[in-house]
Structure 1
Amino acid sequence: MPRTFRVRDIAWQAGVSETTVDRVLNGRPGVRATTVDEVHRAIADLERQRTQVRLTGRTFVVDVVVDAPERFTSAVRDALERTLPVLRPAVLRCRFDFSDEAPAGQVAQRLLRAARRGSHGVVLKAPEDPEVVAAVDRLRERGVPVVTLVTDLPGSARVAYVGIDNRAAGATAAYLVGRWGGPGAGTVLVARGRSTFEGEDARFEGFLRTLGEHSPRITVREAADGAPLAELVRAALREDPGVDAVYSMYASGSSAGVREAFAEAGRTCRLFVGHDLHPEHEHLLRTGELDVVLHHDLAGDLRRACHALLQARGELPGAPHSWPSSVQVVTPFNPPLPLPAP
């Protein structure tokens, strides 16, 4: 294997000793298969972050621990790696630790492992659970700051929250479904994902509070992350003849097929509101299957997260503070970026 990076850099990235890295690079025995995989993942991360590795000066290692479906974790990785070069003269390298619906105890152990591996800070998206909160508090005691991303842990010792203003997002959705109808409007199906995420609770609270001012009826369905939204819609249409609008609070499950489900039932969907402008939603906007996407700038959130971690370590002036990002109401006519060709 060619020596593209220093053994020291690979060891830092993988969170293992230089001796272990040397064994893996030279194919020597005595290293667990999982550790070999970690070393190879570290090299792949360094390859993607090559512009940062070339910089001189003190290097800060940031662990990104995210429990979410692959669609979101891929977006986080891509957005953060695009952000790293603009953080100069700071030199940040990221180690990614992703899972989907992991038990809270497992997420807590991964946080503590990050501290043992010499982390300078953690960006975290995880369920609001006592074990996770306790792990965040222990990291703070050890001098490792934590910034929560997209969904907050307000009862923890995290130093800041970055991400969409979830209450404002829910309120915006309520305003749209209330105004996008008029007399005779039917029931709004509200599709929820994992109720253990504080962000969804805040989003739902903002939705209900504002909905009271416009008073459409609602029915709520909850699905595990990754479940096709169309299946929730079909079930709701069978049970409630008044459903004529959909607000999907979670972005992880596939949104395709919602209007097809209405057509199968001989009904019309007057409004379909979703979250996050990922490629599927871009396509559904363009084809008219989705009316509105409530979006936020993930790259900007991650840039602010890194800024807060450096402030917490005293490397930048000022104290770290939360940065709720604004809600962008995206239609087919005002996408933040050009919609890709079909």
Structure 2
Amino acid sequence: MPHPYPIREIARQSGLSEATVDRVLNKRPGVRSSTAANVAQAIADLDRQRSQLRLTGRTFLVDLVMQTPDRFSAAVKAALELELPMLRPAVVRSRFDFRETARPGELAKALEGIRQRGSMGVILKAPDEPEIIDAIGRLHDAGIPVVTLVTDIPLSQRVAYVGIDNRAAGATAAYLLDQWLTNDHDAILMALSRSAFRGEEEREMGFRTTMRERARGRTLVETTDTDGLDVAVRNQTVSILRQHPDIAAVYSIGGGNRAILDAFDFVDRECRAFIAHDLDRDNLSLIQDRKITAVLHHDLRQDMRRACQVIMQASGAIDGPIESIPSQINVITPYNVPSQPLH
């Protein structure tokens, strides 16, 4: 049990005598396992409290930079603001740069501005492009840690990724749709917002691989490069549905789900099964109204808490290894919608 504490301090924390603590730490005989466990717990408590003391009175200025439709950035912002009081005794202030559309160079310029102004860390949702990778490298060299959110940029110098395992999510969607579609000739529409987002690409790969294993002959039709914006999504979906009259289900990887459903209505077609991602304001309403079949959801508040904690770890304010730990994927149906989805 390596530790930096005097025996007297461990004894006070554990309620044991100094002699007993000394016997445990030096692994002398005659010590009960429960006594050793008490000493280990006391050291763990002291570690945690030491981190709390280091956080007291500290302010962390965190920047959120995201290329995403407004419905998702609004959900992320709400989740962060609900979580901020839970991060005390540290004080976290946040700045937001949200864009529905952007060229990679524009996002790189925004990240360069943060480097010049200074920041304790950046939470980033951006495409996996060379300009973005270079900008992350410059932030890293300036001592500003970057945490990727929802979609990873693994070859960059980001310190961690926070979000779901996107391949597993795609595989889950394929498994569910294969169960629900009884006609082997029913085709499935896969709707991406932009293929440059690695998270969406990985969802697609997980979906294709699993569907190929389970239903090799089923047709999969892809749409992309709409940025998840309603007008572009609707127009592209109408065109695809007219070209493929056998499409009967949707795996919406990148959003714009009201627009997709509007397109089905416009061409007078039934959508027999529809899987979406995230309980943003649109999807919450759609699943409550039973317009979509299921939502693959993860706890955004937990993600934002984890992202802030990683930034604190990178600054040395919190102990422990910095790790990319996938968020839990929850399958939400009309029967188990959380009463407060952001919690």
Give your verdict on TM over 0.5.
Answer: yes
CA contact (8 A) 2:148 2:162 kept: yes
What does residue 151 of structure 2 align with? Answer: 151
The aligned amino acid for 2:291 is E
What does residue 114 of structure 2 align with? Answer: 114
Relative to structure 1, the CA distance from residue 197 to residue 241 in structure 2 (aligned partners, 3 Å threshold; closer, same or farther) is: same
Question: d(CA) in 2 for partners of 1:261 and 1:99?
Answer: 25
Classify the secondary structure of the residue corresponding to 2:258: coil
Classify the secondary structure of the residue corresponding to 1:65: strand
Task: For residue 233 of structure 1, report the CA deviation from its aligned partner.
Answer: 3.4
Task: For residue 230 of structure 1, report the CA deviation from its aligned partner.
Answer: 4.0
Question: d(CA) in 1 for partners of 2:321 and 2:340?
Answer: 37
Task: For residue 183 of structure 1, report the CA deviation from its aligned partner.
Answer: 4.0
User: Which structure's CA Rg is the greater one?
Assistant: 2
Question: d(CA) in 1 for partners of 2:75 and 2:324?
Answer: 21
Task: For residue 319 of structure 1, report the CA deviation from its aligned partner.
Answer: 2.0
Question: d(CA) in 2 for partners of 1:117 and 1:263?
Answer: 49
What does residue 318 of structure 1 align with? Answer: 320
Shifted more, 175-184 versus 149-158: the winner is: 175-184
**1:35-63 deviations in whole A, cap 9, x for unaligned?**
xxxxxxxxxxxxxxxxxxxx961211111
CA contact (8 A) 1:171 1:207 kept: yes
Report how many residues are paired.
Answer: 283
Task: For residue 185 of structure 1, report the CA deviation from its aligned partner.
Answer: 4.4
Question: d(CA) in 1 for partners of 2:127 and 2:230?
Answer: 18
**1:130 is aligned to 2:130:** yes
Classify the secondary structure of the residue corresponding to 1:324: coil
Matches within 5 A, 1:158-169: 158-169=158-169
Task: For residue 263 of structure 1, report the CA deviation from its aligned partner.
Answer: 5.0
Structure 1: stretches of 5+ with no match in the other structure = 1-54
**1:97-126 deviations in whole A, cap 9, x for unaligned?**
222222211211211221222211111111
What does residue 335 of structure 1 align with? Answer: 337
What does residue 49 of structure 1 align with? Answer: none
Task: For residue 133 of structure 1, report the CA deviation from its aligned partner.
Answer: 0.5
Question: d(CA) in 2 for partners of 1:208 and 1:101?
Answer: 27
The aligned amino acid for 2:86 is V
**1:300-334 deviations in whole A, cap 9, x for unaligned?**
10100001111111110012111221211111000
**1:243 is aligned to 2:250:** no
CA contact (8 A) 1:277 1:293 kept: yes
Question: d(CA) in 2 for partners of 1:263 and 1:305?
Answer: 40
Structure 2: stretches of 5+ with no match in the other structure = 1-54
What does residue 29 of structure 2 align with? Answer: none
**1:289 is aligned to 2:291:** yes
**1:109-160 deviations in whole A, cap 9, x for unaligned?**
2112212222111111111111111111111111111100111110001000
Shifted more, 180-189 versus 129-138: the winner is: 180-189
Classify the secondary structure of the residue corresponding to 1:193: coil
**1:198 is aligned to 2:201:** no
**1:227 is aligned to 2:230:** yes
The aligned amino acid for 1:248 is S
What does residue 58 of structure 2 align with? Answer: 58
The aligned amino acid for 1:227 is D
Question: d(CA) in 1 for partners of 2:209 and 2:73?
Answer: 31
What does residue 3 of structure 2 align with? Answer: none
Task: For residue 67 of structure 1, report the CA deviation from its aligned partner.
Answer: 1.6
CA contact (8 A) 2:71 2:282 kept: no
Question: d(CA) in 2 for partners of 1:184 and 1:223?
Answer: 28
Task: For residue 268 of structure 1, report the CA deviation from its aligned partner.
Answer: 2.7
Question: d(CA) in 1 for partners of 2:69 and 2:325?
Answer: 24
Classify the secondary structure of the residue corresponding to 2:230: coil
Task: For residue 239 of structure 1, report the CA deviation from its aligned partner.
Answer: 0.8
Cα RMSD of the aligned pairs, angstroms, is 1.9
Question: d(CA) in 2 for partners of 1:257 and 1:289?
Answer: 12
